[in-house]
Every structure is written in C-alpha cells, then in structure tokens.
Amino acid sequence: MEPNRHDEPHLPGPSLWPIGFAIGVACVLVGLIVSWPAVAVGAAIAVVSGFLWIRDATRGMQTEVVHEPERRGAVTGPAPPAAAGDAALPVMEEEEVERYGRNVFLSATTLGVGGLITGIVTVPAVGFMVAPAFVDQHDEHSKNVDLGALDNFPEGKFVIATFLRDPAQGEVTRRTAYVRNNGVVNGAPSFTIISNRCAHLGCPVQPNGPIDDKAEKKFTTTKGEEVRVVPVSPAGFGCPCHGGQYDTEGNRTAGPPVRGLDRYEFSIVRGHLILLNTYSVTKVEGTGSSAKIHAYGLKGPGEHADGIERLLYPVDPPH
C-alpha cells in the first residue's frame, strides 16, 4: 500500500447505470398515474440498474480492501478459575477502571437528564402544534346550517345558496352549495344538494349557465346566519382552475377530477331545509329523486374513493 492512502479521494468508478436507475424511477412515477404494469417494469429496471450501479461504484473498494487474517495473542497465564466466584470477573487495568467509571456515568446522566427535559418540553409543544388540527373536527351542531323555508327552492330548479358553515368562526367558513328541489317523492321532500368544492384540487366550481342575479334573495335565519339564494339554470358545472367539468348531477364529464362532486346530507325541520354533513360521491346513476348515488365518507379533493387508486389513501384523518 502507498503511504498516503488516507488522503486519496474516494472517487466512485465511472458508471452509466445511474441513468438506467433514473429511467426506472421515472417509469414507476409515470406508471403510478398511468398504468400499473409500467410500475412493475419501472421497478424492475430501477432495482437491476441500482444493483449494477452499486456494483460499479464499489468496484474500486472491493479490489483494494485487504482482509487481514485475524490474529489473537496467545493467552498468557492461567485462565481465572471459574468456580471461584469474584475471580471469574475479568481483571481490569487501573486505567480502564478510571475510563469506565464516574466519567461515563456523569456523561450518561447528563445526556439522559438533558434528553428527558427536552422531551418534557418538546412533546407538549409539538402536540399543541399538531393535535388541534386532528382533534374535535367532528362538531355536528356547529356544522348544521339552516337554509330557510322550503319555498325558497322552486321545484326542479337549481339555486346557488351561500352560507356560513360555522358563524362563530366568521366569513372564512363561507360555503356555497347548488340546491335543487326534486319535489315530493312518496310523501317526503327530495333535494339534490351539491357542494361547489371541485373534486380535483378544491377550487369553487361554477354553474355553466345564466345566473338570475335580480332574483337574489337574502335572509337571516333563526340562528342569525345570513343566507343568500340565487336562481340559476346550469347545463352543468365547471371549475375555473384546471377545467374540470361536471353534469347537473355532479358526475365528472371531463377534465382532471378523480370523482364526482361532493354532496350534503339534509333534513327538513319545521319546514326549513337543514344542511348536515358532507359526503363524497364517485358517480350518480339516474337523476333527481330517482338517482342512485355511489356515496362514500368525505374525502379530500384529489383523493380517489373507488378503483385501485383508493389503496393509496388507506386512512383518512378525522374530518
């Protein structure tokens, strides 16, 4: 060996396999979106290229590493008699005793106590940062919205209803829903209430059709919430951000959304229309009161609720 071995830069050998590795990874990522067989092909390319890359990169080291035969000094003196209790302990040099004594104990104690204090301070602080985003999200009563008397909603027509989902929190909770009165079916009123949150990335979808601004009604409900209702005649709904298109039932007809528009559960209390929770919909067969709705628990925009892609989102945070 040369004397200045240690200063030599450890340059990896030249290799083309990183390119193959990158192609494989790119293929996996594209495959995740486009097709599953491509993922398998890409993964195979990446694994093989990665293996060959590592082999290339470590070639220099493999040839240079010299394994010296293990040598052990011959045991001098008699082994301590095992049966003699204390004598079986290894005999320590004085220096060794010093090194593993108080010094190590003090270091370990300082680190341990320091770590404990850090933990006591950090855990509640981080919890305070993270937990409020996930705890107590499901407050039913504050989310129920009174949209006023049923005669605000002409039969067979959409109206745009804007309201505060949580008046205590103010304007930031203003939401919009497209409400259609489907008439009375079997003695019970039927409504189609579509959320305007696009199922792609959450922009507000707009009605594709004339909005009758002059017929806007504003009223304050019993809880003091201001609700605005505007009649509209949409041929469907469209999202201004990335061009997602939906029909009047909220089915995706074109563009990037991964499912249909979300809907609101509702109930009728003393002649008033009350909005309840939101739920996600993949598709709707049929129309109006006879529609068959494929409903799921509320998903975030862009999250698949059906198909194999749903496996990418196995657990949803509490909404």
Interacting residues toward another protein by CB under 8 A: 6-11, 130, 132-134, 137, 165-166, 169-173, 201-204, 241, 300-303, 312-319
Q: For another protein, give the closer residue by CB, 144 or 287.
A: 144
Q: For another protein, give the closer residue by CB, 203 or 211.
A: 203
Q: Could you tell me which residues are beta bridge partners of residue 218? A: 228
State in angstroms the smallest separation of the CB of 282 from another protein: 16
Helix, strand or coil, per DSSP, at residue 111: helix
Q: For another protein, give the closer residue by CB, 288 or 302.
A: 302
Q: For another protein, give the closer residue by CB, 105 or 313.
A: 313
Residue with tokens 């039913």: 140
Instruction: Answer yes or no: are the C-beta atoms of 261 and 293 closer than 8 Å.
Output: no
| Tokens (6 digits) for 166 | 């949580």
State in angstroms the smallest separation of the CB of 127 from another protein: 12
Q: For another protein, give the closer residue by CB, 162 or 287.
A: 162
| Tokens (6 digits) for 217 | 């009604």
| Tokens (6 digits) for 29 | 């990522």
- Give the distance from CA 44 to its chain's centroid: 27
State in angstroms the smallest separation of the CB of 135 from another protein: 10
Q: For another protein, give the closer residue by CB, 137 or 233.
A: 137
**Integer Cα distance of 319 and 314 in angstroms:** 15
State in angstroms the smallest separation of the CB of 57 from another protein: 13
The number of CA neighbours under 13 Å toward the Cβ of 86 is 1
Helix, strand or coil, per DSSP, at residue 86: helix
Burial classification of residue 100, based on how many CB atoms lie within 10 Å of its CB (0-12 exposed, 13-18 middle, 19 or more buried)? exposed
State in angstroms the smallest separation of the CB of 17 from another protein: 18
Q: Give the DSSP H/E element, type plus range, for residue 3.
A: none
State in angstroms the smallest separation of the CB of 256 from another protein: 11
State in angstroms the smallest separation of the CB of 230 from another protein: 19
State in angstroms the smallest separation of the CB of 227 from another protein: 19
Helix, strand or coil, per DSSP, at residue 173: helix
Largest Cα span, the chain:
108
Residue with tokens 């990183």: 18
Instruction: Answer yes or no: are the C-beta atoms of 263 and 196 closer than 8 Å.
Output: no
Residue 245 identity: Q
Q: For another protein, give the closer residue by CB, 86 or 136.
A: 136
**Integer Cα distance of 57 and 187 in angstroms:** 76
Q: For another protein, give the closer residue by CB, 157 or 165.
A: 165
Instruction: Answer yes or no: are the C-beta atoms of 279 and 220 closer than 8 Å.
Output: no
Angle at 240 between CA 258 and CA 171, to 5 degrees: 95
